[in-house]
Amino acid sequence: MNTKRTGIMLLILLSLSGCAAPEQEEAMKVLLINGSPHPQGCTYTALREVADALEHEGVETEFLHVSPHTVGCSACGQCARTGKCIVDDQVNDVLARLEEWDGLVVGSPVYYAGPAGQLTAFLDRLFYASGGRLAGKPAAAVVSCRRGGAASAFDQLNKYFTISSMPVVSSRYWNQVHGNRPEEVRQDEEGMQTMRILGQNMAWLLKCIQAGAQAGVTLPEPELLVKTNFIR
């Protein structure tokens, strides 16, 4: 008996017995942010490998290429009152859709041992204006470099997650690839494997969180923020 026919018979039996058919689980979705000036360069190549692994595990993915013209935060404080940035660009687009994504992967090339400037400008405004709405969403950083500086860039990106109560997803090595062009990145076999395992681990964690939520496990109740200034 084929699978389709079996499913139809099961639905018929459930309806005859008065039982409701089991609800289909809503597909989880991850946003992958490409902070490189090049839409399909080395950083995209790494992110694409992560996305393929996620999709193989049944997790939907969506890409966002950060505009090279993204401006930084002006510290005006408007977002605390309105919930969005005073600069109406991609940051507000993402803020308006935060509930759609269950996880986040941020990718960047390495410039002067740090992430790309337009990406940090984007993330500064996004995280500051999010008002805690990113808490509980698994996140990971991916960096791409020709030769060096990956560790410090990787560390800087992870700090956005660890100040926001976001579970950080790891792989079997630090999430970095090496190459000067996409075809060179594909030759970094260990780096590409690291990306695949990262995608698999994120999919596993997302499924664990979903299963926990169905069993009644919720996010911890946040405490009131305590600030201790060094100068009083």
Tell me, yes or no, whether 79 lies in a domain.
yes
Residue 232 pLDDT class (50, 70, 90 cuts): confident
DSSP H helical ranges for the chain: 3-17, 42-56, 78-82, 90-96, 117-129, 150-162, 182-187, 189-214
Look up the pTM and report it: 0.88
Residue 230 pLDDT class (50, 70, 90 cuts): confident
Q: With residue 60 as reference, give the H or E element that holds it.
A: strand 60-65
Tell me, yes or no, whether 41 lies in a domain.
yes
Residue 28 pLDDT class (50, 70, 90 cuts): very high
d(CA 78, CA 171): 38
Per the prediction, the chain carries an average pLDDT of 92
Quick: pLDDT tens for 151-190. Answer: 999 999 999 999 999 999 999 999 999 999 999 999 999 9
Q: What is the DSSP letter of 98?
A: G
* pLDDT(19) > 50: no
Instruction: Check: CB of residue 190 under 8 Å from CB of residue 173.
Output: yes
Beta bridge partners of 34: 65, 107
Q: What's the confidence (pLDDT) of residue 21?
A: 44
Structurally, the chain folds into a number of domains equal to: 1
* pLDDT(110) > 80: yes
Q: Output the domain CATH number for residue 119.
A: 3.40.50.360
β-sheet with 29-34: strand ranges across: 60-65, 29-34, 103-109, 139-145, 176-178
Tell me, yes or no, whether 12 lies in a domain.
no
Residue 103, domain extent:
34-214
Q: How far from chain centre, in Å, is Cα 45?
A: 16
Q: Which of 16-25, 62-71, 157-166 has the least mean pLDDT?
A: 16-25
